[in-house]
Structure 1
Amino acid sequence: MSGDVIVVGGGTAGCVLAARLTEDAGCAVLLIESGPDYPNLDGLPADVADASEPTVGHDWGYFAEADSLDRRVPLPRARLIGGCSATNGCFALRGAPADYDRWRALGNPGWSFAEVLPFFRRLESDLDFADRWHGNGGPIPIRRHPADELTPIQQAFINAAVQVGHSYVADHNRPGALGIGPTPRNVRDGLRMSSAITYLAAARHRPNLTIRADTTIGRVEIAHGRVVGVRTTTGELLEADRVVLAAGTYGSPAILARSGVGSAARLSRLGIDVVADLPAVGEHLIDHPIVAVDLPTRPAAGPKFQAIATLSSTSSGAPDLHLFAAGPFPVEREICESGAIFGIVAGLMAPQSEGSVRVRSADPSDPPRIDVAHLRHPDDLARMVDATVEARRIARSEPLAALVTGAEIEPGPAVADDARTAIAESIRARVASYHHPVGTCRMGTDADRDAVVDARGRVYGVDRLWIADASVMPTIPTANTNLPTVMLAERLAAWLTNPTPA
């Protein structure tokens, strides 16, 4: 089987790429996904359809390497058409304009906020706002729960945060948003509106699109510095004029490494022939860490993530923290007598810690070695302590405090607000992933040996090979990364369709 373009990975970015590239009837696209495809809503598994909370029913089963406390943090990554957009919490956030201006300042033309705003607008159909910041004709519907839809905990979280001094924010996707308000979400009538249901569904009928699910790619085939195609783990060669990797922040660097693209020293030690010496492949992994203040409450049904606070821990006012109320979730009576808990979750949105993704061998069945490096930088831990203290302050304020039915579960009443060392120890013991890894194939200038691709996603040292997923982000946005990844795929698809320099 051959095609003009092979897209490896049918996740968030891959579905966008397949849909946009096949708008050109002369471009044949083969979209390859390791997991299953559910082409009809009637056949969609219930947990994939249900937008009320994330699911791990279709997952690669990754874990981080053991940390200093010998904890192996789970790192869910979806394995199905739609990828993590088909399993996540449906937070439809962009981040701050400064996030993208920084990409441009690092030597990546075309990525300033002014330049990416049209692609943010293009991807969305915002049901609440119609102004220059928002789009109203895109594939992904975005709305915020009005007050009469908020659950008691979510409404109380907003009111308590305002009570302690945080501003109310009606639109978290407007530049300068800082404060508490309803979460923009890509949900329609309780259905998770993934890139499979939105982008790909509109393209499935096109004769120039072939979708091949349940097919895992072992490596890219490269001859004389140029892409030939890709080889499946069963040994089948699929030829193409161009290959675009969209296998994600963990998957794309692993495929590159198995293809001989990466650090020559590391690849040689694994017995992999070196095609292009790019030391940054798999480096600079950045992820948002999270930790919660867990509180007992009464069981209740309903959406779990309706409100969010974007805050700043610095005098500059730059957003670097998320707080959101998660729950309630049922728990065993041994944990709390009420049978349910909710959390005020703190997410560090501008971490300085960096980790890595490394292959263990040339065997695609070997899971990658993932070092998420959560809180390794001392400033990260200090800011998480501040965020935990603030989460506690909100939780103890009315009307939220009235919904707490007993003593705090974590960090627990024995840990005082001014006991920063004890709070830090509690955070280290419980820190988890917000599931937003980026940066392992980051974009940059040719002179920058810390770059893997140029500003248009072209892999250095290999002709006709691109990467178009969150792995190319040079820094992490101060937001959940689903919407930025869709934007990135839109931006790169436009360049792939029209390669003429802007």
Structure 2
Amino acid sequence: MHLFEAGEASATNSSPRLADSTSRTDLLDGSVFASTYTGGFRYPYLRGRALGGTTAINALVQMWGTKDDWDAWSAMHGCTGWNWRSVSAEIALLGLPSHFASASESGPVTGAVLSAARGMGASECRHTGETYDGAGRVALSLRDGRRADAFSVFVTPRALEDAGRMVVHAGESVAEIAVEADRARGIVVGDDEFVADGVVLAAGTVWSPILLRRSGVSRAGIGRNLKDHPAMSLWLRLRDGVSAATESLDVTGLVVASSLDDSDINLLPVDPNQLVVAVTKVSSVGHVAEVEGTAEVVLGTLETHDDSTRMLAALRLAADLCATKEFREVVESVSIDAAGTPLDALLAHDDDTIISYVRRQPGAYSHAVGTCRMGAERDSEAVVDNTGAVFGVDGLWVTDASVFPDIPRAATQIPVMAVAGRIASGIAERLR
């Protein structure tokens, strides 16, 4: 078995802290750019370029998605066998370590959000089971203080030590998949072609569809149906005497229902001085395409009325939370930009003006899914079947977030690992 990774072998990361990871340029894919709408402001879109992909740089948050999210795969999207029961079982099989912050690892902002949310009536919740709405500390994928990324979870030391069992080719960027007579025959790397009995593509929501297009795969849905969680950062000025927790390992999530659905908006404090407001139930769609060697992502942020309604509810929830006694004991002011414009000043405008402002900001959780989505072959927008096999090409599978038919109401690390594990098990069974 051969594993090809565009990132260099030296690009490894054990630090669990998001700020440490996203400042490491050797871990980042600098060739991916995003805009919230066609023709909008273009900005770097956070993607990992290392063994483990974006799990080498992300926040390690363990959220599973709701039961309704997973049951909809089968009930609404034609993905037979995919539901809450099968996916939650797969998550359990991953055997991931779960770290909950101790008092010494907790920062003032996360603590303030937790206290304020409980004062507003939010129930205790860890966002990993069937009960999802509420506030609580979220588990992080840490083992002995080091990040448990996708590479360390799926590739065992024994697999690397056994001669010939797995060969890792780091710093090797795949140009295309070699397809002949509707069958994947291998991959092309530079001037070399590597012959294989099967090819498993795990280049992520951005690059997997681009590689399929380069390779002549022609399903209409390739690169389309992209969804991400729209998000906006609020900037917090702490009161004098409150120390900023630059070393915090605490993640506290507040997930609540808008007037439209359960568990569809999310507030996430990020110490030392940030509160992220996000929509987690998304109907707007975007797309990705290759333009002169770069990947251009158009997110389609808040293009539907439902998504706009949810974002307005999320911002107003944030304003209510920030006005509580518990929050005000820690935070002096809440602004929407570096100039210090108050959140209340934005919310004084009409709904259309607020949404127009949010759409002009470079804001998303970098949880993109859906560009090679799973579904029935009769669905022209579907790219892979319920085993991850690409329609029309034998011996080719996709096993990353691009196959999701919809975005879960969760950070996508755990859902992606579960889906990848289940698809990989099916491939291994077929190739035995």
Both structures adopt the same fold (TM-score exceeding 0.5) = yes
Query: Which of these residues, 345, 352, 363, is aligned with residue 432 of structure 1?
Result: 363
2:93 maps to what in 1? 122
SS at match of 1:358: strand
Shift of 1:150: 2.3
Task: Name which of 301, 306, 312 aligns with 2:257.
Answer: 312
In the alignment, which residue of structure 2 is the partner of 1:452?
Answer: 383
**What is the RMSD of the two structures over their aligned residues, measured on CA atoms?**
2.0
Are 1:261 and 2:206 matched, yes or no?
Answer: no
Cα distance in 2, alignment partners of residues 293 and 156 from structure 1: 15
Q: Say if 1:305 and 1:325, in contact at 8 Å, map to a contact too.
A: no
Answering whether residue 5 of structure 2 is matched by residue 49 of structure 1, we say no
**Match in the other structure for 2:270:** 326
The one-letter code matched in structure 1 to 2:44 is P
Shift of residue 149, structure 1, vs aligned partner: 4.0
Q: Does 1:83 align with 2:53?
A: yes
* AA of the residue aligned to 2:166: L
**Aligned residue pair count:** 415
* CA deviation string 1:450-487 (max 9, x = no partner): 11111001111111111111101111111011111100
1:244 aligns with 2:171: no
Match of 1:230 among 174, 178, 187: 187
Instruction: Find the counterpart in structure 2 of residue 442 from structure 1.
Output: 373
1:227, CA displacement in angstroms? 1.3
Whether contact under 8 Å (2:33, 2:294) holds in the other structure is no
Mark the CA change 1:210 to 1:414 in structure 2 (over 3 Å): closer, same or farther: same
Aligned CA distance change for structure 1 residues 407 and 492 (closer, same or farther; 3 Å): closer
Counterpart residue number, 1:286? 227
Give the partner amino acid of 2:141.
N
- In the alignment, does 2:82 pair up with 1:163? no
The answer (yes or no) to whether the contact 2:36–2:300 under 8 Å persists in 1 is: no
SS of aligned partner of 1:452: coil
AA matched with 2:172: T
Does the 8 Å contact 1:439/1:474 carry over to 2? yes
Query: Which residue, 159, 168, 172 being the options, matches 1:211?
Result: 168
Residue 485 of structure 1 corresponds to which residue in structure 2?
416
Q: Does the 8 A contact of 1:292 with 1:388 survive in 2?
A: no
What residue identity is the alignment partner of 1:326? V
CA distance in 2, matches of 1:418, 1:72: 26
* SS of equivalent residue, structure 2 residue 271: strand
Matched, 1:145 2:101: yes
Q: CA deviation at 1:430?
A: 2.3
Q: How far did residue 309 of structure 1 move?
A: 1.0
Distance 2:178 2:69 in 1: 35
Q: 1:472 aligns with which of 399, 403, 416?
A: 403
Please state whether the residue corresponding to 1:238 is helix, strand or coil. strand
- How much identity, in percent, do the aligned residues show? 29
- Residue pair 2:255, 2:266 contacting (<8 A) in 1 also: yes
Unmatched tracts of structure 1, length 5 or more: 1-28, 39-43, 124-137, 263-277, 329-341
Contact kept, 8 Å, 2:233 with 2:363, in 1: the verdict is no
**Which among 269, 275, 295 is matched to residue 236 of structure 2?**
295
- 2:236/2:331 contact within 8 Å kept: yes
Distance in 2, matches of 1:345 and 1:210, equals: 40
Q: Tell me which amino acid in the other structure corresponds to 1:466.
A: W
Q: How far 1:174 moved relative to its partner?
A: 1.6
| Corresponding residue SS for 1:63 | strand
Give the superposition deviation at 1:37: 2.1
Of residues 345, 362, 384 in structure 2, which corresponds to 1:414?
Answer: 345
Tell me the distance in 2 between the aligned counterparts of 1:420 and 1:161: 25
* Alignment pair present for 1:393 and 2:347: no
**How many Å apart are 1:323 and its aligned residue?**
0.7
Which runs of no fewer than 5 residues in structure 2 stay unpaired? none
Per the TM alignment, residue 210 of structure 1 is displaced from its structure 2 partner at its CA by 0.6
Cα gap change, 1:407 to 1:107, in 2 (>3 Å): closer
Deviation at 1:70, TM superposition (A): 3.3
Q: How far off is 1:407 after superposition?
A: 5.8
For the Cα contact (< 8 Å) 1:293–1:391, is it kept in 2? Answer: no
Q: Secondary structure at the match of 1:374?
A: coil
Alpha-carbon shift at residue 68 of structure 1 (Å): 6.3
Pair 1:416–1:486, CA change in 2 (3 A): closer
CA distance in 1, matches of 2:246, 2:156: 31
Alpha carbons 1:147, 1:155 under 8 Å: kept: no
Residue 191 (structure 1) aligned with residue 146 (structure 2): yes
Q: Is the 8 A contact 2:29 2:49 kept in 1?
A: yes
The residue that corresponds to 1:59 in the other structure is 28
Structure 2 counterpart of 1:347, from 278, 301, 314 = 278
Query: Which residue in the other structure is 1:16 paired with?
Result: none
Say which structure is richer in helix. Answer: 2
Superposed CA deviations along residues 267-289 of structure 1, whole A, max 9, x for unmatched, are xxxxxxxxxxx111111011111
